[in-house]
């Protein structure tokens, strides 16, 4: 008997078809039920997320495809010295972002049902993860993106063997089109939206498990950058698992950080909108561009899951500007020694706003998710903060070093 079951979140029907992405009876979204009687850590996978495979929809732990995703460090923040503020450094994942967790689950599920190709819609992190993990699994990777995606963001996918397809239009309609096409063609879809692939959505739970393992308890607050909404929802489900298992006595308040220009979820939360049609009625169909492209969804595909997680945890949303995100990303480099992409900088900017509200007890543990590495976004940072350097003659070297050492 398997250690998990796929179950409809609406009608509770158990799904027998492992390839299904929605309920065979009512077309509702899928969730997962686990055997909580046997969820011990597997020491064979010490140091990565697969030590928690008994709480993941994994068919066969003996045949895991992995690049070593997960097991990322929890760093004490230097910028907030004197307070228990931590950074969950997801930049240490194999391809530099937390998306490796979701795509690893997706690729392993795809292999289990015999898929030879993995399709994903992405303008960045998920596409790179899909390409790398598919290559590792011996599968082909197809990445669909919108027109105008910067070449430096695409090249890593290409270098990892992905076939790239550029579609004219906005990202959210493209996601819908790809979902429809994959179902018609019988192609395996790994896009990190729950309706596209409910299996991948479980990967983010492992972030919560690692936080608790490293802290020895649940933090009081967790700050997460929100794009599609699946990450914050997955982390919340991870804490709920641990609460159900009796491993923690309380759960954290979840804070979602969204771009100032793409803050439909913040507005929906503040207006207490409970129906997705009400969210879709908000005027977010024509929005200005943002450098926070990985977070810039007009109507996030997992938006209701994100709203439910934030509400259930007594949390809230905060919005940040592009400038605030870039400044916070620089702070992470200068003060924390972490090279963070702008979307991860947005989380730090949100953290700063949370702490400025003075609703957080000074002794409460706060964890901010640094979702992705700046190494893949150097081209973007340089556009806003041009590189500065000194050019000197050899005979000026000693005096220049001495002056720099004095901070001059």
Quote the pLDDT of residue 385.
87
Chain centroid to CA 285: how far?
24
Cβ proximity of 57 and 202 under 8 Å: yes
Counting DSSP H helices and E strands in the chain, the numbers are 13, 12
Quote the pLDDT of residue 135.
98
Cβ proximity of 134 and 142 under 8 Å: no
Q: DSSP character for 13? A: P
From the number of C-beta atoms within 10 Å of its C-beta (0-12, 13-18, 19+), residue 387 rates as: exposed
Helix (H, G, I), strand (E, B) or coil at 376: helix
Quote the pLDDT of residue 3.
92
Rg (C-alpha) for the chain, rounded Å, is 21
Q: What is the pTM of this model?
A: 0.96
Quote the pLDDT of residue 1.
57
Quote the pLDDT of residue 341.
96
Quote the pLDDT of residue 284.
87
Backbone angles phi, psi at 26, to 5 degrees: -120, 0
Helix axes 151-159, 125-137, angle to 10 degrees: 10
Q: Which two tokens stand for residue 152?
A: 């430096």
From the number of C-beta atoms within 10 Å of its C-beta (0-12, 13-18, 19+), residue 78 rates as: middle
Mean pLDDT, contiguous 10-residue spans, the chain (408 residues): 89 92 92 91 94 94 95 97 96 97 98 96 93 98 92 95 92 86 95 94 98 98 97 98 96 98 97 95 89 91 96 98 96 96 97 95 97 93 90 95 94
Q: Which two tokens stand for residue 384?
A: 């806003």
From the number of C-beta atoms within 10 Å of its C-beta (0-12, 13-18, 19+), residue 289 rates as: exposed
Q: Which two tokens stand for residue 262?
A: 């793409």
């Amino acid at each position: 008997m398997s250690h998990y079951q796929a179950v409809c979140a609406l009608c509770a029907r158990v799904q027998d078809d492992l390839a299904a992405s929605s309920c065979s009876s009512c077309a509702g979204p899928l969730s997962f039920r686990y055997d909580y009687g046997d969820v011990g850590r597997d020491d064979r996978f010490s140091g990565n997320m697969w030590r928690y495979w008994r709480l993941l929809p994994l068919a066969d732990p003996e045949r895991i495809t992995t690049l070593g995703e997960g097991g990322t460090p929890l760093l004490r923040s230097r910028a907030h010295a004197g307070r228990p503020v931590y950074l969950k450094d997801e930049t240490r994942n194999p391809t530099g972002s937390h998306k490796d967790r979701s795509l690893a689950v997706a690729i392993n599920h795809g292999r289990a049902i015999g898929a030879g190709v993995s399709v994903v819609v992405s303008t960045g992190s998920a596409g790179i993860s899909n390409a790398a993990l598919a290559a590792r699994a011996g599968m082909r990777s197809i990445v669909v993106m919108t027109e105008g995606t910067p070449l430096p963001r695409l090249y890593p996918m290409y270098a990892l063997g992905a076939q790239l397809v550029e579609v004219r239009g906005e990202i959210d309609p493209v996601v819908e089109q790809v979902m429809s096409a994959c179902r018609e063609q019988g192609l395996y879809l790994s896009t990190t939206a729950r309706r596209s692939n409910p299996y991948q959505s479980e990967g983010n739970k492992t972030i919560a498990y690692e936080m608790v393992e490293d802290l020895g308890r649940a933090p009081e607050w967790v700050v997460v950058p929100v794009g599609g909404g699946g990450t914050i929802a997955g982390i919340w489900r991870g804490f709920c698992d641990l609460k159900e298992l009796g491993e923690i006595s309380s759960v954290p308040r979840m804070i979602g950080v969204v771009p100032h220009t793409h803050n439909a979820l913040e507005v929906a939360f503040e207006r207490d909108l409970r129906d997705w049609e009400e969210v879709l009625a908000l005027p977010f169909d024509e929005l200005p561009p943002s450098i926070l492209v990985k977070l810039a969804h007009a109507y996030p595909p997992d938006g209701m899951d994100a709203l439910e997680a934030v509400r259930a945890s007594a949390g809230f949303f905060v919005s940040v500007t592009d400038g605030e995100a870039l400044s916070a990303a620089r702070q992470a480099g200068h003060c924390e020694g972490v090279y963070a992409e702008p979307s991860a900088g947005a989380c730090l900017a949100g953290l700063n706003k949370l702490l400025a509200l003075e609703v957080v007890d000074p002794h409460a543990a706060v964890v901010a998710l640094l979702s992705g590495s700046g190494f893949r976004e150097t081209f973007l940072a340089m556009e806003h903060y041009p590189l500065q350097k000194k050019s000197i003659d050899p005979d000026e070297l000693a005096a220049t070093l001495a002056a720099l050492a004095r901070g001059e």
